[in-house]
Amino acid sequence: MDLAPRPAAGSPLRATWAEVDLDRLRHNVRVLRARLAPPAALMAVVKADAYGHGAVAVARAALEAGAAWLGVALLEEGIALRRAGIACPVLVLGWTPPERAADVVAADLDQAVTAPGDAAVLAAAGRAAGRRARIHAKLDTGMGRLGWPVPDTAACDRAALDLARIAALPGAELAGVFTHFAGADDADLEGARLQVARFRGVLDRLAERGVRPRFRHAANTAALLRLPDAHFDLCRPGIGLYGYVPSPHVPDPGLLPVLSWRTRVAFVKDLRAGDAVSYNGTYVAQGPERVATLPVGYADGLRRGLSGLGAALVGQGRAPIRGRVCMDQIVVSVEGCGPVAPGDPAVLIGEQGGHRQWAQDMGDLLGTISYEVLCGISPRVPRVYAGDGAPDAARAGRP
């Protein structure tokens, strides 16, 4: 057997990496944009390092493909985009501690606000900086998480009054009013429709007070694809950018998964009947079986819950995980994969040898969603960019 490692195309120094195809990302942005009900524009949600894909590279590609805004969860995520030279409007969707208000203004970020006190602090920071802090007031129309709860008309009136006061604060601009869907990916859209009605109720009351925020927004990927009534001025897709629909109830408009998780075979050996594999010997070979060791484990985000459950793609076949997933390694059965040697490419998420498995398939095995699988790929896994104009395109084996 030739034990000299054969370099795999696209392999960076580490033997396990995530390849992010920016052409596919741009394709997804265009597919989603084509579904927007005018006058809605697109805010690419790149929180959590762009769902594990790398926020700066994804942000640039999304803007090239026509996104107008970026959305992040944290102030730090917004500041990181600014440090990378990204100048478009960026909304911080999550709560920022009031002590950081000056940083929000200094970074020229739009900030979600969930209570009058936070708005006042941002307005003061705006005045101190000689400009206006841009505020997006968040209404809780049914998510039950953040924002002005608006379950009935009295609550809608109170919210509208608060928002009108914020709009009048010197040093602040009520740039937006928004809400978030709890179940736009549910089989039944009744709850989402009720949320839209509540949202419109507050907007109508605001208009009666003469307040018309420029950006009204509500739709995540599911609502973008299923509820044109909820598009308003901006849609905020996240998961769709990365090539997945949020649930089986959301029709796929032809999105392409952007991230492939790749590794290489570290070791190959033949088990005999009775040989045990990995911690605690939970797998014992029933007969002769060829196995390969892959240098990827739960410290990379390959969840230990996949022990004895998931598979990698190796050679021409699917290679089921045998025994426990370790911190840095797994063992897979390569029976039926054709000839396999150390250094060969293997795939955890992606396509190879006529087989494919995507983040959603891994999520199904784990009882979770594609989002969690993608965000869970740890920072130890280098992100390598492929596609036109990608800094790593040459390294990823593309012209």
Among 33, 100, 226, 236, binds ligand PLP (CB under 6 A): 236
238: contact with ligand PLP by CB under 6 A = yes
Distance CA 338, CA 319 (A): 11
Does 72 interact with ligand PLP (rule: CB under 6 A)? no
Cα 210–Cα 213–Cα 217 angle in degrees, nearest 5:
135
Nearer to ligand PLP, 36 or 45 (CB): 45
Out of 269, 279, 371, 385, which one is annotated catalytic? 279
**Smallest distance, ligand PLP to C-beta of residue 374, A:** 10
Instruction: Note if the bond before 39 is cis, omega within 30 degrees.
Output: yes
Rounded Cα distance between 381 and 373, Å, is 13
Tokens of 36: 């927007």
Yes or no: say if 61 and 22 are a contact pair by the CB < 8 Å rule. yes
Q: Which residue is nearest to ligand PLP (CB)?
A: 238
In the bound complex, what is the minimum distance in angstroms from residue 58's beta carbon to ligand PLP?
13
Question: In the complex with ligand PLP, which residue's Cβ is closer, 220 or 352?
Answer: 220
Does 220 bind ligand PLP (CB under 6 A)? Our answer is: yes
CB 161 within 8 A of CB 119: no
Whether the CB-CB separation of 45 and 180 falls below 8 Å is answered with: no
**Contact present, 100 and 94 (Cβ < 8 Å):** no
Q: Which of 47, 138, 242, 385 is catalytic?
A: 47
| 278 touches ligand PLP (CB under 6 A) | no
Q: Helix or strand or coil: residue 235? A: strand
Q: Can you tell me which of 18, 25, 31, 45 binds ligand PLP, judged by CB under 6 A?
A: 45
- The DSSP output letter for 176 is E
> 191 vs 308, which CB is nearer to ligand PLP?
191
Query: Binder to ligand PLP among 111, 141, 195, 221 (CB under 6 A)?
Result: 221
Nearer to ligand PLP, 132 or 180 (CB): 180
Nearer residue to ligand PLP within complex by CB, 52 or 240? 240
Q: How far is CA 218 from CA 141, 149, 181, 183, 319, in A?
A: 10, 15, 7, 12, 42
Would you state the structure tokens that stand for residue 241, as one six-digit string?
Answer: 């950018």
Of 10, 142, 237, 315, the residue at the interface with ligand PLP (CB under 6 A) is: 237
- Give the count of beta carbons closer than 10 Å to the beta carbon of residue 75: 20
| Site membership for ligand PLP, residue 239 (CB under 6 A) | yes
Contact between 52 and ligand PLP by CB under 6 A: the answer reads no
110 vs 344 by CB, closer to ligand PLP: 110
Residues 156-195 binding ligand PLP (CB under 6 A) are: 180
CB of 333 to ligand PLP, least distance (A): 35
Which of 246, 310, 317, 387: binder of ligand PLP (CB under 6 A)? 246
The residues that bridge with 322 in the sheet, in sequence order, are: 331
Of 78, 120, 85, 81, residue with least CA distance to 103: 78
Nearest one of 276, 361, 263 to 323, comparing CA atoms = 276
User: Does the annotation mark 279 as catalytic?
Assistant: yes
- Window of 16-24, 197-205, 231-239, 254-262 that interacts with ligand PLP by CB under 6 A: 231-239
- The residues annotated as belonging to the active site are 47, 279
Contact residues toward ligand PLP (CB under 6 A) are: 45, 47, 93, 180, 220-221, 236-240, 246
